[in-house]
Amino acid sequence: MSFFPGRSRSDIQRPAVPHFPGAGVGGDGKGHPLDPDPGVITHRLTPGRGFVLACDSHGGDISLRENKNSSAAMVSDRRTAVITGGASGMGLAVAHALTRSGGWDVTIIDLDAAAGARAAETITDTATTQSSYTSSAMFQQADITEYAALAAAFEATFARTGRLDFVYANAGIAERGNFYGTHDTAGAAPPPPPDLLVSKINLDAVYTTTYLAQHYFRQTPQAALTQGPGSSSSTDQSIVMTASSGGIYPSGFCPLYTGAKHGVVGFMRAIAPSFYKNDKIRVNAVCPGPLRTGLLTKEAWDQFPQELLTDTDKVAAVVLMLIEGRDGAPISETRIDGDRGVDGGGTDQDALLWGNAVEISGQRHYYRDAPGYSDDIMERNMIQCDPTVGSLRT
């Protein structure tokens, strides 16, 4: 048994994708099988028959593809994204940015049913009016601390599009309660338990979201990844986690939030080499400074010096850059931990982005490395713990 279980992507049996041109397209000829009113197309296919429907972004060419790998009936030729906490704030901004860029089917997962439904509707409207490539959005209500609910949302997404390209593990809350508070209890009676919901949502659910992402990434037919009408040439799979500046710096006023966000950064750094080397999945985290979202009340936000707040659109731009995998900004502007590089050791600013904690402050972003080793004994020990190079595996 492997200490760090993982399989090489070359071990994965990905289905071939034969092309059967001329299957025809109904309606106005501009539809997509996943658009809100695609019934003519969708219902021609029998779920479970193992066929894949694809059309180009302008509705011109359409093809059926055999899908031997999954129970999903179709594989969309648009890319598929899952965004937790997509009904508000940064998640919503990224959902809008993706659909505006074109060629994405976005699933918003959120606890807030009203905001989620509103978001999906707005995004669909925006996508159809602003992009030359079509996009779509759907909402799945789920409490991401409930594994079954989260898994069902992923399952529904994969059943809808037959693929998964990007996951934004983003949902979060602010710290609740006062960890430093005193409690009047009698004698030896213990205080009430602390409120740990912030760890369950901001950290544990990042684990489960990533775990599910890994599964559905692997279920995605390899051939689907080499095509798509999106605006970019990048068609690989990636995860971005929302950590925080509190994942880099200690924030004493919210210690449990700080712990959870440090955990997100540590988790991202721990899995990124295996995910990339075994499955070509790029994993990164964003660490924004404070920005005005639904995370806090208006009164709380008003207490911040407004000129110091980070712009939500800047965060969305960084997330999209991480999805596309390359950063055109000069290294001199984005590196403050030396030149250990953005690609597991390289220094090329065009290197593929994975394993990065990207701090975002105001309108700037910076790549933050893990601390350097204290000495060679520690370095050699920690290398043993890296399953891509060490010996702690069988």
Ligand X SMILES: NC(=O)c1ccc[n+]([C@@H]2O[C@H](COP(=O)([O-])OP(=O)(O)OC[C@H]3O[C@@H](n4cnc5c(N)ncnc54)[C@H](O)[C@@H]3O)[C@@H](O)[C@H]2O)c1
257 — phi, psi (to 5°)? -65, -45
What is the three-class DSSP state of 132? coil
DSSP 84: E
Per DSSP, the residues of 328-369 read: -S-HHHHB-S-S--SSTT---TTS---S-EEEEETTEEEEEP
Considering only residues 42, 199, 274, 293, which one is a binding residue for ligand X as defined by CB under 6 A? Answer: 293
Is residue 288 close enough to count as binding ligand X by CB under 6 A? yes
Binding residues for ligand X restricted to 110-149, rule: CB under 6 A = 110-112, 115, 143-145
| 147 catalytic residue (yes or no) | no
Out of 106, 171, 239, 256, which residue is the one contacting ligand X (CB under 6 A)? 171
Q: How many Cα atoms within 13 Å fall on the side-chain side of residue 313?
A: 1
**What is the C-alpha to C-alpha distance for residues 260 and 355, in angstroms, rounded to an integer?**
18
Q: Which residues contact 278 (CB under 8 A, 6 or more apart)?
A: 6, 7, 8, 9, 388
By CB under 6 A, residue 290 contacts ligand X: yes
* Candidates 21-29, 66-74, 109-117, 269-277; binding stretch for ligand X (CB under 6 A): 109-117
Helix residue ranges, H only, the chain: 39-42, 89-101, 113-130, 147-161, 197-199, 205-219, 255-279, 298-302, 312-324, 331-334, 376-384
CB 315, min distance to ligand X, A? 8
Is 291 a binder of ligand X (CB under 6 A)?
A: yes
Residues 187-246 that bind ligand X (CB under 6 A): 201-202, 242, 244
Only segment of 13-21, 168-176, 188-196, 267-275 that touches ligand X (CB under 6 A):
168-176
- Which of 216, 257, 276, 367 is labelled catalytic? 257
Q: Is 172 in the site for ligand X (CB under 6 A)?
A: yes
Our answer to whether residue 261 is catalytic in this structure is yes
Chain residues that interact with ligand X, rule: CB under 6 A: 85, 87-91, 110-112, 115, 143-145, 170-173, 201-202, 242, 244, 288, 290-291, 293-295
Catalytic residues: 257, 261
